């Protein structure tokens, strides 16, 4: 956990995931969480005049932590869905994402989602990819993992035929951590938008939306975006 901010305001707890490059991941040197989401929530807090204490956990824990009200804020590349909106509040969207397939760099057989029948397809449990595969590809063999890196590793070792996950994470992993061994297959499958999450009826939603808009208008959002995604 790490504290941030020097304003006189309240301190709020922020739940984040422990490994979702480049949105949130552990910086081995400092032992602190870093990434796009971390920079964004710190900038939002500065703008809105509160402090944040960041705690990393499994993604399912972030969702559950919002539902139980255990944490004040959640930021974890979380897709705004109608189903989640029944139990969680969201800020305005802050990032356009989507789902995509990754396969072995030498795989010529799977070129789109049309080729998934009978294939072993991995993803992380509790995510929109899990829902997408079970709803759209009942003839694929869905295998869920507690962390996505385990799925990527099983793909690299040939135990899986494909992994489905969020476009920015797949692309970042393919380009930085699996260069030459994995590639994306096909187009973006389902457009999604990430939102900052809150327990239902949180009074913070409005302040956070206002701060988010200011950061977009004054260029801070673009600076953070460029730092993690280039250009």
**Window 176-195: contact mask with ligand ARG (x via CB under 6 A):** ----------------x---
Is 59 among the residues that bind ligand ARG (CB under 6 A)?
A: yes
| Minimum gap (Å) between residue 72 Cβ and ligand ARG | 18
Backbone φ and ψ for 54, nearest 5 degrees, come out as -95, 130
Near ligand ARG by CB under 6 A, which window of 45-53, 76-84, 110-118, 154-162?
Answer: 76-84
- Tell the burial category of 93 from Cβ atoms under 10 Å away from its Cβ (0-12, 13-18, 19+): middle
Dihedral of alpha carbons 30, 127, 173, 92, sign: negative
**According to CB under 6 A, which residues from 113 to 142 bind ligand ARG?**
127-128
**With CB under 6 A, what is the number of residues at the site for ligand ARG?**
11
| Minimum gap (Å) between residue 84 Cβ and ligand ARG | 8
| Minimum gap (Å) between residue 9 Cβ and ligand ARG | 26
Quick one: 33 or 45, whose CB is closer to ligand ARG?
33
End-to-end CA distance of the chain: give it in Å, rounded.
30
> Which residues have a Cβ under 8 Å from the Cβ of 54 and sit 6 or more positions away?
1, 2, 3, 4, 14, 16, 33, 38, 41
| Minimum gap (Å) between residue 7 Cβ and ligand ARG | 27
- Residue ranges in contact with ligand ARG by CB under 6 A: 17, 20, 59, 76-79, 127-128, 166, 192
């Amino acid at each position: 956990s790490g504290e941030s901010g020097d304003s006189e305001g309240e301190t709020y707890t922020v739940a984040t995931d422990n490994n979702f490059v480049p949105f949130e991941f552990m910086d081995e040197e400092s032992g602190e969480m870093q990434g796009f989401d971390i920079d964004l929530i710190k900038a939002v807090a500065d703008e809105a005049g509160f402090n944040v204490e960041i705690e990393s956990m499994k993604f399912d824990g972030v969702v559950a932590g919002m539902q139980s009200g255990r944490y004040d804020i959640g930021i974890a590349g979380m897709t705004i869905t109608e189903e989640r909106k029944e139990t969680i509040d969201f800020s305005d969207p802050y990032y356009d994402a989507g789902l995509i397939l990754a396969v072995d760099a030498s795989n010529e057989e799977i070129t789109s989602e049309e080729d998934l029948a009978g294939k072993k397809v991995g993803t992380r449990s509790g995510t929109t990819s899990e829902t997408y595969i079970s709803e759209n590809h009942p003839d694929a063999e869905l295998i869920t993992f507690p962390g996505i890196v385990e799925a990527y590793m099983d793909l690299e070792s040939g135990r899986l035929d494909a992994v489905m996950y969020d476009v920015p994470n797949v692309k970042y992993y393919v380009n930085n951590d699996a260069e030459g061994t994995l590639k994306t297959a096909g187009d973006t499958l389902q457009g999604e938008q990430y939102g900052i999450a809150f327990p239902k009826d949180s009074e913070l939603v409005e302040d956070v939306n206002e701060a988010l808009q200011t950061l977009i208008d004054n260029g801070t959002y673009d600076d953070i975006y460029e730092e993690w995604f280039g250009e």
